[in-house]
Structure formats: structure tokens, C-alpha cells
């Protein structure tokens, strides 16, 4: 009987540990934009989510960067920017910033409003100041704020159509122009 209680307690402890590990890994993964404490400019970073998950057994996960746009030149920094991530982990996440930016907007090409965005599937894109649509993965995180000021939102379908027109104009028929007689 006593052995059963020990097994149950061990099972509960294992479930709690696994839940904390997974929760921390999910919370701290992804590209982020922070303000570098050294030069007060935006920097693109990634947290070592695996390390955060493995150390999340205590009260708080131990955070450390896995990448930073200021590396390798500033690789020896004290990583004081981690306090920004610890204080608001989702607010500095690129996907979170972009979701807020797309809210209430419509595609600059077809006019279709953006609904809930699934960042794992058909991701919307943007039309940059030079009128070329680009994917968000092509925009460095440290340039995100500046890009959002000048870019226009474009849906996944219009982005793909733009790529097709740009890369394979010989395969495209422009039906918006009147046919010549």
C-alpha cells in the first residue's frame, strides 16, 4: 500500500515537471525584438528555449540568449536585455507584434480583411516601400518597427501571386488589361 502512494507521488511529480518544461519551452521560443541596453536600439534575439525549459523546475526559468543580431561583435555582453523578456515574454515576440499590427487591417492588394492569423500555415506578408511583397522571415527582427511604419499588409494568396508575376511573368495572363482587337 505504501509503495502505491510513492508511485502515485512520483507520477504526479513527473507530470508537473513535464508540464513546466513544455510550458517554458513554448513560452520562450521564437524570434523577439528587444531594446539593447547598451545602445538603446532594437535588436533581434532568440532565447535558448530548451535551456529555459530544463531549468524551469524552480520558481522561474533561467534565461539565456541563443542568438542576437549584435553577435558576434557583442557576444560577450551581460545579456541584460533578458529582463525585458522575463517581464513580458509575449510582448516582444515577433509573431505577437505582427498579429497586433494586422488586427483590423485588410490586404493592400485584394482588400480582404485579415482574420485570425495562423503563423504555422498561410502566413500573410507585406509590401515594402519598393512595392515588392516579402515574407516576414526575410525582415530582420531589429528592423521590424521601422518596416511596420512604411509597409502595407498583403494576404498569403496575393503574396504568392506577386511572386509568380515577378519570377515567372511568361506564365501569367493579366486579365485586368483590355484585350487588343
- pTM score above 0.85: no
Residue 107 C-beta-side C-alpha neighbours within 13 Å: 20
Residue ranges of domains in the chain:
2-87, 94-171
| Burial class of 107 by CB neighbour count within 10 A (0 to 12, 13 to 18, 19+) | buried
The DSSP element (H or E) to which 11 belongs, if any, is helix 2-27
C-alpha cell at position 65: 540568449
Instruction: Per residue of the chain (181 residues), give pLDDT as tens.
Output: 688 888 888 888 888 777 777 887 788 889 999 999 989 999 999 999 888 888 877 677 889 999 999 988 887 888 999 999 989 999 999 989 999 999 999 999 899 999 888 888 888 999 987 888 888 888 898 999 898 998 999 999 989 888 888 888 787 776 665 655 4
Q: How many residues does the structure list for the chain? A: 181
Amino acid at each position: 500500500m505504501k509503495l502505491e502512494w510513492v508511485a502515485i507521488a512520483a507520477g504526479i511529480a513527473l507530470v508537473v515537471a513535464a508540464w513546466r518544461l513544455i510550458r517554458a519551452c513554448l513560452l520562450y521560443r521564437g524570434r523577439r525584438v528587444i531594446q539593447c541596453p547598451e545602445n538603446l536600439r532594437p535588436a533581434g534575439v532568440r532565447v535558448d528555449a530548451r535551456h529555459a525549459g530544463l531549468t524551469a523546475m524552480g520558481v522561474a526559468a533561467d534565461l539565456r540568449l541563443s542568438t542576437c543580431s549584435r553577435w558576434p561583435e557583442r557576444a560577450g555582453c551581460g545579456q541584460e536585455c533578458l529582463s525585458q523578456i522575463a517581464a513580458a515574454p509575449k510582448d516582444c515576440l515577433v509573431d505577437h507584434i505582427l498579429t497586433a499590427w494586422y488586427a483590423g487591417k485588410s490586404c493592400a492588394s485584394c482588400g480582404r480583411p485579415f482574420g485570425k492569423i495562423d503563423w504555422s500555415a498561410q502566413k500573410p506578408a507585406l509590401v515594402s516601400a519598393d512595392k515588392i511583397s516579402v515574407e516576414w522571415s526575410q525582415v530582420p527582427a531589429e528592423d521590424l518597427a521601422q518596416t511596420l511604419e512604411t509597409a502595407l499588409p498583403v494576404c498569403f494568396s496575393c503574396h504568392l501571386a506577386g511572386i509568380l508575376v515577378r519570377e515567372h511573368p511568361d506564365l501569367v495572363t493579366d486579365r485586368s488589361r483590355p484585350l487588343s482587337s
